[in-house]
Amino acid sequence: MSSFDKLDIKNKKEQKKLNVDFAELKSGGFIKQNKKDLFTVRLRVPGGRMPIERLNKIIKIAQKYGKANFVHFTTRQSLEIISININDFNKLKSELKKIGQQTASCGPRVRVATGCGGCEYNARGIIDAQKLALQSDRKFFGIPTIHGKFKISFAGCHSDCTRAKGADIGFIGEIEPGWSERKCIGCGLCAKACLEGAIISDKKTGKPVYDASKCIFCGDCIKICPTSAMHEKKVGCGLYVGGKWGRHPRIADLITHLFPAKDIIPVIKKTIDWYIKNGKKRERIGNTIDRLGIKKYKNEINYKRSY
Amino acid sequence: MEKQIKIAKKLDLTGVICPTNFVKTKLALEDLKKGQILEIILDDGEPIRNVPRSIKEDGHKIIKVENIKNKFKILIKK
């Protein structure tokens, strides 16, 4: 018998003794640790934004119940209180509830939505990743998918710091550039800023020659233009589906550029529904897409090329 | 026309990396009066991609960009 099997039997005995279901606990953000009776409590922090006042209160709760002298920041922006004794569960939960702090979801459910700083204060942000993460989290958090976890991420720009391309569904802020010849001084900075080769500076006039087929709509040309000759024509999102990390990473498929922000909530809903209907046990939506084909997904969510 | 532009200060930022080049530009602009012109020389690559954008975000105006052998001469109006 391996040590893992022993641990499993031990877990089952503990479950019986304490009359708790570990899977059920996990759904509420309580994760069993490697020592008896100790759990990690993962907090729901959509977009990684934590009001300072609430953080102060969480510190006090963590000091009171956490047996570790640290907290852990997860890769997906949640905050975990470490080594909570199983007997303190109810007290901890009610204290968290009092300060308006919920616990996160684990297991085959929609996880907490992540987002970068977005356009609110970040100089590079194109979309309001914070607001969108909060909105979608309010709408979809904790929904059981039956098959596997489902992660939603928002990135303000193509730097993709929140790894939208590694999420089950991800959105990246995009701008389609427009050009006003009257304002252009032919400085060539837009061509310098473009890393995709979508803008080439005309040899004679210095003015931009734009190739939309190469453009990824990052907006760098607009941000650098000294005269605002390059300007915002349309704002939207790159829509990515099927990304995952883990033992077999998969980069998400680009469904479309410049997806309209107003359709974000409907497309997430359609995608989760599609996954519940078509997925197999323990498979992520990326694997479902590999198995059934991206065409089927696009057709069934009523995908339209939006530019 | 070009000769009429009066340059108040010149700054050669060749070999100066980001963000030091931008900080130096910022400090030089602080010494100028509103409407005066600063000339900077920037390397190709990261500097030319970043410094003009940051200058714009700070509310200054780039009035001319000239490409001279892998370097860029930029005129900034405070």
The pLDDT value given to residue B4: 76
For residue A226, list chain B residues with Cβ-Cβ distance below 8 A. 52, 56, 61-63, 65
Question: A131 CA to chain B: closest CA distance, Å?
Answer: 24
Contact B56 A226 (CB under 8 A): yes
Helices (H), chain A: 3-18, 22-27, 52-65, 89-98, 129-140, 189-193, 220-224, 264-278, 285-292, 294-300
Name the residue in chain A with its Cα closest to that of B51.
A224
User: What are the chain B neighbours of A189 within 8 Å (beta carbons)?
Assistant: 48, 52, 62, 65
- Looking at residue A307, what is its pLDDT? 37
Q: Give the tens place of pLDDT for each residue, B13-28.
A: 999 999 999 999 999 9
B47 touches chain A (CB under 8 A): no
* B65–A220 CB contact, under 8 Å: no
Please state, in angstroms and rounded to a whole number, the distance separating the CA atoms of residues A222 and A157: 13
Query: Would the CA dihedral through A172, A133, A115, B48 be positive or negative?
Result: positive
Digits of tens for pLDDT over chain A (307 positions)? 555 555 555 556 655 555 556 666 766 788 889 999 999 999 999 999 999 999 999 999 999 999 999 999 999 999 999 999 999 988 998 999 999 999 998 889 999 999 999 999 998 899 999 999 999 999 999 999 999 999 999 999 999 999 999 999 999 999 999 999 999 999 999 999 999 999 999 999 999 999 999 999 999 999 999 999 999 999 999 999 999 999 999 999 999 999 999 999 999 999 999 999 999 989 999 999 999 999 999 999 986 654 3
Q: A223 vs B61: CB contact, 8 Å cut-off?
A: no
Q: Which residue of A has its CA nearest to B58?
A: A123
Sheet containing B71-77: give its strands across.
Answer: B7-12, B37-43, B71-77, B61-68
Cα B56 to Cα A23, A224, B40, B45, distances in angstroms:
54, 7, 14, 18
pLDDT at site A9: 58
The predicted complex's ipTM stands at 0.85
CA distance B45 to chain A (A): 8
> Cβ(A143)–Cβ(A136) under 8 Å?
no
pLDDT of residue B3: 58
Mutate to test the interface with B, among A124, A187, A194, A220 (most CBs of B within 10 A): A187
Please answer yes or no on whether B52 and A224 come within 8 Å at the CB atom: yes
Question: Rg of the Cα trace of chain A?
Answer: 23
- CB contact B5 to A (< 8 Å): no
Inter-chain touch B48–A192, beta carbons under 8 Å = yes
Check residue A303 and give its pLDDT.
64
By annotation, the residues of B acting in catalysis are 18
- Which chain A residue lies closest to B45 (C-alpha atoms)? A192
- Which residues between 12 and 31 in chain B have a beta carbon less than 8 angstroms from any beta carbon of chain A? none
Residue of A nearest to B65 (CA): A187
A2, two tokens: 């391996």
Q: Enumerate the residues of chain B whose CB falls inside 8 A of the CB of residue A187.
A: 62, 64-65
**Chain A, window 229-288: residues with a beta carbon less than 8 angstroms from a chain B beta carbon:** none
User: How high is the pLDDT of residue A28?
Assistant: 77
Distance (Å) from the C-alpha of residue A223 to the closest C-alpha of chain B?
A: 6
Q: How far is A135 from chain B (nearest CA, A)?
A: 29
Q: How many contacts does A have with B, using Cβ atoms within 8 A? A: 33
- A39 has which bridge partners? A32, A84
On chain B, the residues whose CB falls within 8 A of the CB of A219 are none
Q: Say yes or no for a CB contact (<8 Å) between A193 and B53.
A: yes
* CA neighbor of A164 nearest in space, from A208, A127, A201: A127
Structure tokens at A248: 């077999």
Tokens at A122, concatenated: 């970040």
What is the secondary structure of A165-178 as a DSSP string? Answer: GGSSEEEEEEEEEE
Residue B60 has pLDDT above 80, yes or no: yes
Does any CB of chain B come closer than 8 Å to the CB of residue A228? Answer: no
- In angstroms, the separation between the Cα of residue B48 and the nearest Cα of chain A is 7
Model-wide pTM > 0.80: yes
pLDDT of residue A306: 46
Mean pLDDT of B21-43: 95
